[in-house]
Structure 1
Amino acid sequence: MTESRRSVVATGSGRVRGVVEGPVVAFRGVPYAASPVGGLRFAPPRGHPGWSGVWDAARSGPAVPQAHSRLEGVMGPRGPDWDEDGCLNLNVWTPAAALAEGAVARPVLVWFHGGGWSSGSGGWDWYDGARLAALGDITVVTANYRIGPLGFLHLPAIGAGNLGPQDQGAVLRWVAENIAAFGGDPALITVGGQSAGAYSTMSLATDPATSGMIRRIIVQSGPLGLPPQEPADATTTTTAYLHLLGIDPADDPGRALRALPWQRLQDAYGQLDDGLDHKPGDIAPPMWSVLGGPGQPRAWQEAVAEGALDDTDVLIGSVSDEMTAFLEADARVQSFTHDEALTLLGALPGRLGTDAPLAYERYEAQHPDATPARLYTELAGDRVFGDGGLQVAAHRADRGLPAYVYRFTRRPEPDEHRLGATHCAELPFLFGTFDAFPDAPMLGTVNGHDHDLARSFAGALAAFVTTGSPNGDGLADWHPYGPGPDPYVMRFGPEPV
């Protein structure tokens, strides 16, 4: 139960007052950068000017303006809590004992939310870090970063370029400079995230501008099969977006963009997305990280091959049915014939190409009763969310470096939507936030076995944050991914059907 006692901590911008919640102290909605409004919209993040007195950090701050998530039917809906003013905020949960004078500094997990670069908030109760901080005796940080057009519009002439990744870099710098005051150890920072947040984790860990602050990474269901946007493609998208807004690119577009209400910017982004020719399995939004821009100087494959992660501890994983969240309700996919599935698999950019027939034949042999729709869903999910992580792990194994790989397989009961262990399914188990997902189809009914699974999954990841290994007292043995034909992958949940 939340106690009325509060704790005050000094940051570089001013003092903040948190709330004691059992064994942890929570500091919510703490600004890490100035509000990106007025002349700061579409500008790189700037330091917060600070405040006098004590900032009340009892409640989460506003989310970044956004549309509703396309995964609401799987995860459950969110009420609009967004506002451009004050949206660059973060949240800290730290063991109360870590704030005592002379206490040993705790390892830190900085975790970034997913949402397809277009939705989400680190302040939502889905990602409440109190239970994870208490379970692992670690300091947990979640944060907002600009998403959608506010975070990924590519218009370098006005300062707009990979602003979301730049915000994430600002979060890391804030943590490095301030987390000691919260009882965290700035020399033991793990960066983690799920989906788009996992993609961001790889970018931060392979970017020389931020990699030096990162000791370890946790990559959950990262869409690593999606390459960064090419600058020319991003420019074409920007031109189409400005056209929807009625803005002439040659007539001071920065002034015009900064004068519009954010609701108009978001509406045009929705129109832009609706106008895209999305093929089933192509989950790319209209705008995301641009190759060569701030925070994304090169593709992760190139960086890993050149040793960018050699001094970083790595834990990486996926769920067993990633793509059902996107495709199980797609009538086009569910009516696929064998030939249609093969044709579209080969057309997915950066995924399968000429390997599609062989991969399909192999999956068909392993699952002889599966429909073309199911086979397509499995293959597309592996190529988007699974294979990139295995490539990282295999590269490290070949170099004699450990990487820990997991597969989360717990399915909801009942599973009326045939989701299996779908994209995002592991999140309630990491944060222990089952109550924050009422009636979510991906979760179903929660029982005692699920609470045990949550303790083992979250406990292993917290142990990794602390030591660089997901092994520890009361945890199952988890071996590093190995070279050769039989590498080790840790399963959390039953064998997938």
Structure 2
Amino acid sequence: MTDSYLVDTAAGTLRGMPLPGGSILFAGVPFAAPPVGPLRLRPPRPRQPWPGVLDATLFRPAPAQRVSALVSGQAAPPPFPGSDLWAPPTHCDEDCLYLNVWTPDPAGSRPVIVWIYGGGFDSGSAAPPMTDGAALSRLTGAVVVAANYRLGALGYLHLADLGGPDWANCTNLGLQDQAAALRWVRDNIAAFGGDPGNITVAGQSAGASSIGALLAAPAAAGTFHRAILQSGHAQRVVDTATGTAIATDLMAALGLDEMDDLLDVPVSAILEVQSSVIDADLGRRSLPGGRGWGVVVDGNVLPEHPQQAVADGAASGIGLLVGANRDEMRLFQALQGPAYAPADERALLAEMRQAGIASPERLLAAYRHRAPDADLPGLRTLFLTDAVYRRPAGGLAAAQVAAGGRAHTYLFSAEPLGPVLGASHGAELALLFDHVDPASPQLLEVRDDLASAWARFVATGDPGWPLYDPQAQPNTRQFGANAGMVTDPPADDVAAAWAERA
């Protein structure tokens, strides 16, 4: 076996490198032109071909970013197995539109996973440690691709309704980056041993919500055949009025009058102010009316609300695997500390009204019945876990099945981060990226069980349990705790209160 590997792509030849265990890495592969200078805040442009052989043995910088506003200034939880997955990148740059490919065999024809990282749309990286494609490839047997996409204001500033005709397509740039990467994969992955007829796009958190939007984005049509959404769905979007208001406030925060001035302002200045124009608290950000960086239903890049598009059958030919974690919001409760707690019970009831609950008092009483020892922050965690993650995940699966498509759901209930955080947001990444303590046989069993389900799904579209049926009990596969089929959401007084929408 030689110490270098050559692969021909449409833009030129790449040299990869072998990794321990036998897989091969092609790192820092350009899939679009650098979005710098006059291309800042513009849709991705094709990358020009390169002469000779391009070295693809080093990871390129992560997208320009600061530590997420959710954790900025807050104490991080103590170290735990896999905690480095949450470490912010140390090397970031505007010139970031590169992807990484991990392949078991360039001469093969394997299923392909295109991984879209999370991070609240304002942080993240397609490279280790945040994205360990080598581990995901090893556990699933698939060719794994992970692509950077622009973040925060650089990726999601909505200028189409503020800057006039010259800025008409300048919105959802991060989503457009993802679609460009998917087109690159479709056109080039066969050279890396991947099957272009069997591509699964998979992601967690903001990555999963990106996939929810990609299901309805014309630029991504025909680029993937299955989708795995973990802790995300098709409802994490904002309208154009909100997007324009955020853009207006960012311009004011920067002291700018003209759109073209955005091309010259230092990137550090944009990063310095971008968190000040959105809601810092994840609950306020994610509930109806909240302000956050993310996808805008602009009528062009995203013609309609993705949840409605799925209900109308836009994704009926794409198999879905939709997962959520049992204790999603515990991570943010730990990260935000006292700032997370509602001011009082009335504040929590007001949040429930914001979520469209007809009788917040009844819902709060139902949560208290479910968890009699929970304090007010704990009750908020139960509510937001349902409002922001678990219930929208089930709603996406139900819409897909009602439209004649296929969807399977699962609930992750293992606790690789320990009992304090429980099965919180991102906990499953410790398993999918194989950051499991070898001395934890139960977690190793859950890891293998979850990875096998993903492997079956990306290969065949069937993870190994029945299709989701919102009327059936049970209807969802559980990983961890008591493995097997469960009903999610549970059929109790909480579900009855949620059913009474305002």
Structure 1-normalised TM-score? 0.87
- The answer on 1:56 being equivalent to 2:55 is yes
- Structure 2 CA distance for partners of 1:277 and 1:45, relative to 1, 3 Å: closer
Is the alpha carbon distance of 1:264 and 1:281 closer, same or farther for their aligned partners in structure 2, counting shifts above 3 Å? closer
Alpha carbons of 1:23 and 1:268: their partners in 2 closer, same or farther (altered >3 Å)? same
| Greater CA drift, 375-384 or 363-372 | 363-372
- Post-superposition Cα deviations, 1:365-424, rounded to whole Å, max 9, x if no partner, equal 222222232122111111111111111222344466442111111124644xx3211111
Residue 363 of structure 1: how far off its partner (Å)? 2.2
Structure 1 residues 39 and 90: CA distance shift in structure 2, 3 A? same
Please tell me whether the aligned partners of residues 109 and 139 of structure 1 are also in contact (alpha carbons under 8 angstroms).
yes
Of 304, 326, 332 in structure 1, the residue corresponding to residue 332 of structure 2 is 326
In the alignment, residue 345 of structure 1 is paired with which amino acid?
A: M
Structure 1 partner of 2:241: 232
| Residue 469 (structure 1) aligned with residue 462 (structure 2) | yes
Task: Give the structure 2 partner of residue 33 of structure 1.
Answer: 32
Quote the offset at 1:110 in angstroms. 0.7
Unpaired segments ≥5 residues, structure 1: 436-444, 472-477
**2:62 aligned counterpart, secondary structure:** coil
Q: Distance in 2 between matches of 1:395 and 1:335?
A: 33
Per the alignment, in what secondary structure is the counterpart of residue 294 of structure 2?
coil
Distance in 2 (alpha carbons) for counterparts of 1:307 and 1:25: 38
Q: Which residue of 1 aligns with 2:494?
A: none
Aligned equivalents of 1:286, 1:208: Cα separation in 2: 23
Return closer, same or farther for 1:34/1:209 CA change in 2, 3 Å cut-off. closer
Q: 1:345 aligns with which of 340, 352, 358?
A: 352
Moved more, 131-140 or 10-19: 131-140
How far the C-alpha of 1:270 sits from its partner, in A, is 3.1
Q: Is the 8 A contact 1:431 1:458 kept in 2?
A: no
Q: String of CA shifts for 1:327-379, please: whole Å, max 9, x gaps.
A: 244325446544432222223xxx33325333323222222222232122111
Equivalent residue number for residue 378 of structure 1:
382
Q: Which residues in structure 2 correspond to 1:39-438 (within 5 Å)?
A: 39-69=38-68, 70-71=70-71, 73=76, 75=83, 76-85=86-95, 87-96=96-105, 99-100=106-107, 103=108, 105-156=109-160, 157=163, 158-159=166-167, 160-222=170-232, 224-226=234-236, 228-249=237-258, 253-254=259-260, 256-273=261-278, 276=279, 278=281, 280-283=283-286, 286-328=292-334, 329-334=336-341, 337-347=344-354, 351-398=355-402, 401-412=405-416, 414-415=418-419, 418-434=420-436
Q: Deviations over 1:450-489 (max 9, x none)?
A: 2222121112112101110113xxxxxx232224251421
Shift in Å at residue 277 of structure 1?
A: 7.5
Output the CA distance in 1 between the equivalents of 2:203 and 2:441.
Answer: 26
- Please name the residue that 1:442 is paired with: none
- Contact between 1:109 and 1:189, CA under 8 Å: does it hold in 2? yes
SS at the partner of 1:330?
helix
TM-aligned CA distance change 1:433 to 1:15, over 3 Å? farther
Deviation at 1:132, TM superposition (A): 2.2
Identity of aligned residues (%): 37
AA of the residue aligned to 1:493? G
- The alpha-carbon deviation at position 121 of structure 1 amounts to 0.8
Q: CA deviation at 1:287?
A: 2.7
Q: Which amino acid counterpart does residue 20 of structure 1 have in structure 2?
A: P
Q: Where does residue 17 of structure 1 map in the other structure?
A: 15
- How far 1:309 sits from its partner (Å)? 2.0
Q: How far apart, in 2, do the equivalents of 1:270 and 1:306 lie?
A: 35
1: CA distance between counterparts of 2:7 and 2:468? 41
Instruction: Pick closer, same or farther for the CA change 1:336–1:353 going to 2, 3 Å.
Output: same
Query: 1:78 Cα deviation (Å)?
Result: 2.5
- RMSD over aligned CA atoms reads 2.4
Distance in 2 between the 1:387 and 1:311 partners? 23
SS of the residue 1:206 aligns to: coil
The 1-side partners of 2:243 and 2:284 are apart by 20
Q: May I ask how many residue pairs the two structures share in their alignment?
A: 461
Q: Please tell me whether the aligned partners of residues 42 and 163 of structure 1 are also in contact (alpha carbons under 8 angstroms).
A: yes
Does the 8 Å contact 2:218/2:302 carry over to 1? no
Q: Structure 1's 389 and 269: CA in aligned 2 closer, same or farther, altered over 3 A?
A: same
